[in-house]
Amino acid sequence: MSHSRNEVSALITKAGVGAGLPWALAQDLALAFISIEMPSIEDWRSLDVALSNQLNPLSATSETQYLEILNAQIVTAGPATTDWLGADFGRVTLHDLDAPNLLVGYLTVGSVEHGLAYKCTAEGNQIKVSAQELSLTRNPSSLARLEIPHEILESLHAFAANTYVPESEASRLSGAGAGLTDND
């Protein structure tokens, strides 16, 4: 069963919030993931990792031009990387990134948002990212539909369910501001 990109984006956003991310980071994660052209099974598993890891504050040190992010989590390090390079600072080094497969999604979004092309080099547990001006014109949403692996789909739905408010009689009767039948 295939899903539309918009459907997957909405589900990842809800799953992200349900997993404990602030809305802003969940939305960025969703946008980054659906920007990956054809996610592999490893990419889907990386998404699950990103959602499952407990969110910690970003551990970063910076000099004038360089940003070092330690124990990097993609949900915070991905945006921090594109922000840093989008602000025209020199280079970002990510240490021990938890879901490196997803970095390409953040960089794709960043390329559209900031008109940049990125260069990544991996050395051991480090990924170094630098940028140069080069606007990409590809619309990230004009991509093929997605097949979500069954176990990942279940995991996303389970996280997303944490954002739903359980039913009560009062909410059923008044929460939507409408009655239960409409015969006229």
The site that binds other proteins (CB under 8 A) totals a number of residues, namely 56
DSSP code, position 102: G
Other CB atoms within 10 A of residue 133 CB: 9
3-state secondary structure of 23: helix
State which of residues 38, 54, 57, 124 lies at the interface with other proteins (CB under 8 A): 57
Beta carbons of 37 and 143 less than 8 angstroms apart: yes
Paired strand residues for 133: 116
State which of residues 2, 40, 121, 125 lies at the interface with other proteins (CB under 8 A): 2
Q: Between residues 124 and 144, which has the closer beta carbon with respect to other proteins?
A: 144
> 71-93 burial string, b = 16+ CB within 10 Å, else e?
ebbbbbbbbbbbebbbeebebbb
State which of residues 43, 68, 83, 147 lies at the interface with other proteins (CB under 8 A): 83
Does position 123 interact with other proteins (CB under 8 A)? The reply is no
Does position 173 interact with other proteins (CB under 8 A)? The reply is no
Contact string (CB under 8 A) for other proteins, positions 101-120, x = contact:
------------xx------
C-alpha 156/C-alpha 3 separation (Å) is 13
List contacts with other proteins (CB under 8 A).
1-7, 22-25, 27-28, 31, 57-58, 60, 62, 76, 79-80, 82-84, 86-89, 113-114, 139, 141-143, 145, 161-168, 170-172, 175-184
